[in-house]
Amino acid sequence: MSSHSQQPPQGPPYLPRGAVLGLTPSPVPDIPISSVLVVIFVLSAIFNMTILQANLRRKHKFILSGVLFGFSMARMMANILRIAWAAHKDNARLVIAASIFANAGVLLLFVTNLILLQRIIRAYHPIIGWSKALGWVFRFLYSAVVACLIMVVISVVYSYYTIDPRTQSQLRTIRLTAAVFLAILGFVPIPGVITCLLLPRSSPIDHFGQGSMHAKLILLIFTATLLSLGACFRAGGAFI
């Protein structure tokens, strides 16, 4: 065995020693694909910010546009950093930054689905939807998403600054806990919508926004299914 292979890893920060989600990028095909995605997310950010500003001028707060703007910006930065990572594979700081923005962007979609679920419950069952008890339930869920983001970011960043096996094991436990919680949270809107539809209504449906309620229900179930499957995949990958 050569002396080069016996050298300790350079750092901190240290480059990841195992497989990372999405694999290590290469100039081809990652740079062309990521460049296209950057353009798409820039257009998405402009679109959602335009909607947000238009609604604010009409004194109508549409929080979803703001959250989707944040998601688009986070994904744009994640793809820009992935391009830089593909060009500079030995730069551990680029790997850290790309991981942070990738995780932050996905978590904003969980918040979007929770907001839409809460609006749908209020539309179908206003007494339950506007109750303090349900309000506290959703506050807890929003706080849990923020807590998961903080846990993941800290554990991911710290994992690049230590090679101690015991510390790495503890950090992995934190990431696994967050991954399992998000996999469950991603599924929550599906039984929430089903329960909302099965419960007898005491008042007419309070429509909100543009489009039919039928379209909103399909959109929420579809996105919740995708988020849940993605979160389960990430959680399963984290256990391997």
pTM of the model: 0.80
Tens digit of each residue's pLDDT (9 = 90 or more) over 89-118: 888 888 888 888 887 888 888 988 999 999
Q: What is the pLDDT of residues 125-180, one digit of tens each?
A: 999 989 999 999 999 999 999 998 898 889 888 988 888 889 989 998 998 898 89
pLDDT of residue 3 exceeding 60, the answer is: no
CB 151 within 8 A of CB 176: no
Going along 177-230, which residue ranges are E strands? none
